[in-house]
Amino acid sequence: MRISTPCLAWKTCLFVFLSVPAFADGTGNIFVSNESDNTVSVINGETFEVIKTVHTGERPRDMRWHQGNTQLLIATSGSDRIEVLDVKTLEIVNFIEAGEDPEIFNIDPTGKILVAANEDDNEVTVTDLNTGKRIRTIEDVGIEPEGITFRNDGKIVFVTSEVTNTVIIVDPWSGKILDEVLVGNRPRRGIVTPDDKEYWVTNELGGTVSILDAQTFEVLDEIIFEKRGMREGDINPVDFAMTDDGKTAYITLGRARHVAIVNVESREVTDYVLAGDRVWGAALTADEAFLVVTNGASDDITIIDTDKKVAVNSVAVGRTPHTVRIDD
């Protein structure tokens, strides 16, 4: 398929002709939660046209696949629930209890439990996905908990606390707090390397990424981002995507309007790619040929060719796009 991309997210007009395959083994659709519009934009992964706008509860933010990608779970923070979107019909069909103001959540590798950060209440809620009911509430997870990341073995969860600048390690099955580790300023999201050896966490206001040993929880290193033309105060790392082989990480840098590409083994930044205004959420296509990022202040998504390391398209969505997921 050949596409023309006349204007990219940063409003500079370019004309690029590229051979871009459809994203799909699934529907091929791209799903984007729009926090200020109370909607999810559904975008055709081949034509890049918005094919449906799904109305949700208030403040849709994080989204996760469930039931073999037949359902997309959407945290509607202002409505205090996780809504269930049927991927085939594109209709909201149910909701799940997950405490007040769920923002970021995750599902264990077996698909049995959902763990959500309840920012306003300074707690974490664990929900049984078979019944849709709350199992337990975990306190002592810092102030304004946000990021929820399962280790790949499913035994523990890393919880970021934005105000205390810590990562709290939790056993979600028992509710026990195992450890608390000081990281950078305002930690947001985390990711665990495929080999389960390292946990990476973005420090939004610190402008860095902290790297922890995922087994001992020791702080191993810190990544700093520097590029001519990027102001230090605008470098706000938020979200990750990582290749399946664990060799390359993509990190969104917020108001710096760039995505950093990092060699995971050396922990060195190898390149930066210009995206939109306040680049936020990130997701790779299944073949890892493209990275899709949300731009929270320019109300669009940017599609990046990971081989050429350049943005090749942008699509207007709703107001304040937060999270992106790809059904491929």
Provide the residue ranges of all domains of the chain, joining segments of one domain with +. Answer: 2-326
Whether the pLDDT of residue 1 is over 60: the answer is no
Res 9: pLDDT: 34
Res 25: pLDDT: 61
The partner residues of 240 in beta bridges, in order of sequence, read 251
Average pLDDT over residues 119-134: 94
Q: Helix or strand or coil: residue 86? A: strand
Lowest mean pLDDT across 120-134, 205-219, 249-263: 120-134
Closest CA to 317 of 43, 87, 15, 11: 43
Q: Is the pTM of this model over 0.85?
A: yes
Average pLDDT over residues 254-277: 98
Res 97: pLDDT: 85
Burial (CB count <10 Å: 0-12, 13-18, 19+), residue 53 = middle
Convert the pLDDT of each residue in 42-75 to its tens digit: 999 999 999 999 999 999 999 999 998 999 999 9
2-326 CATH pick, 1.10.20.60, 2.130.10.10, 2.60.120.380, 3.90.1150.10: 2.130.10.10
Average pLDDT over residues 239-248: 98
Whether the pLDDT of residue 135 is over 50: the answer is yes
Res 71: pLDDT: 97
Give the pair of three-digit tokens for residue 321. 């796009």
CA atoms within 13 A on the CB side of 239: 25
Sorted by sequence, the CB contacts under 8 Å of residue 204 that are 6+ apart come out as 162, 185, 186, 187, 188, 236, 237, 238, 254
Res 21: pLDDT: 40
Q: Helix or strand or coil: residue 107? A: strand
